[in-house]
Amino acid sequence: MSDLFRDLLRKIGSGPHTGKNLTRAEAAAATQMMLRQEATPAQIGAFMIAHRIKRPTGEELAGMLDAYDALGPKLKTVPAAYPTLVMSLPYDGRSRTAPISPLTALILAAADCPVVMHGGDRMPTKYGIPLVEVWQGLGVDWTQLTLAQVQQVFETTRLGLVYIPTHFPLAAGLVPYRDQIGKRPPFATLELFWCPYQGDAVLASGFVHPPTEGMAQEAFALRGVSQYITVKGLEGSCDLPRDRTCIIGIGQADAEFERLLLHPRDYGFADVDVPLGSTPELIAAMQAVLKGQPNQEHSGGLFQSAVWNGGFYLWRCGVCSTLEAGLAQAKALLQNGTVFQTLAALTASVSAIALDSNKTFAGTNPR
């Protein structure tokens, strides 16, 4: 296998004059060999840095996604009135602005719109706060659940998170290479396009640089992804900013790609994006937002950001017919306690499953 991988490495690593792009099948084969550690460590590191320097194509990313689909986990379809929203955010977390996506996810779940998230622990190169730490601060520990248990929570609460170290250890095995090469490899882009869900979904993908969005369009077209949203969001996430125009792409089945420019000031939401302070400060502000207390210290800006994002995604997922209606519903769901009740139900579901698992484990140990 390492000999075969060497041929693929030579193809992308020969420089601008003699190097070539991989085909979709070749990219899938290379990714599977790296995930399975059939390539040597030297080859894997060389491939990552060479591929970063060359820049991946949409076709190569489609092949890499094929490999993730073949070897990775997927949550199963849940019956719902609306398609599941899969929120794909950078795995290396946030370091400058407060993450909004957990609040957005809770707002959508409160409206019976399922949401799937995915990610891992603190990861190079940014080592920012990841989703699992935010959820843990809110009382939800996804890291202790099997994939089957996450599926159970998802079916009950309309929220699920695929935790890479436990649910996709093959992908987690490539994380140390990111630290060793000191740069984000194309796998960091791949994760923005990955959909660990089997059913009808709207994939929300964040980006920073316009070429990333172009690669997404090509990869999605090749793979038959019919519904997706691209967002030039906060730190490459799919969190809509409030301090600038929101640059959004809408991909729909049987329709041309649509460019959407949303100006927060047109809807009364223009403001500086909430900076990321300490984790306890972030969690306290989120809890105030979830309790419908926008006037508490440090939570006012975050409340508005939650409404802005929640309203947008309620609209794009079909819960509301207009953005204005989505904004109104997001605010109402926060203020009337429905979102807080959704978090309480989520916390109770995860805790009950963890307790049952501990009892089962304890029962198998001889005294």
* Residue entry with tokens 């080592």: 127
Q: What is the per-residue pLDDT across 261-292, written as a single tens digit (0 to 9) for each?
A: 999 999 999 999 999 999 999 999 999 999 98
Q: What pLDDT score does 295 carry?
A: 67
Residues 6+ apart with CB under 8 A from 296: 285, 288
- Measured over the CA atoms of residue 191, residue 91, residue 234 and residue 286, the dihedral's sign is positive
pLDDT of residue 367: 42
What backbone phi and psi angles, to 5 degrees, belong to 231? -135, 125
Residue 17 confidence (pLDDT): 73
Q: Could you give the 3-state DSSP secondary structure of residue 114?
A: coil
> Coil, strand, or helix at residue 45?
helix
Residues forming beta bridges with residue 247, ordered by sequence position: 261
**CATH number of the domain located at residue range(s) 84-339 in this protein:** 3.40.1030.10
Q: Are 162 and 40 in contact (CB under 8 A)?
A: no
- In three-state secondary structure terms, 163 is strand
Amino acid symbol at 256? E
The DSSP bridge pattern shows strands 228-231 and 201-206 to be parallel
Closest C-alpha to 168, from 59, 72, 55: 72
Residue found under tokens 């602005």: 97
Domain with CATH 3.40.1030.10 in the chain: 84-339
- Its pTM stands at 0.95
Q: Around Cβ 297, how many Cβ atoms within 10 Å? A: 9
What are the CA-CA distances from residue 212 to residues 31, 207, 271, 309, 343 (Å)? 19, 6, 27, 22, 33
Beta carbons within 10 angstroms of residue 327's beta carbon: 22
Tell me if 204 sits within 8 A of 227, measured CB to CB. Answer: no
CB-CB contact of 4 with 22 (8 Å): no
Question: Which residues of the chain register pLDDT less than 50?
Answer: 361, 366-367
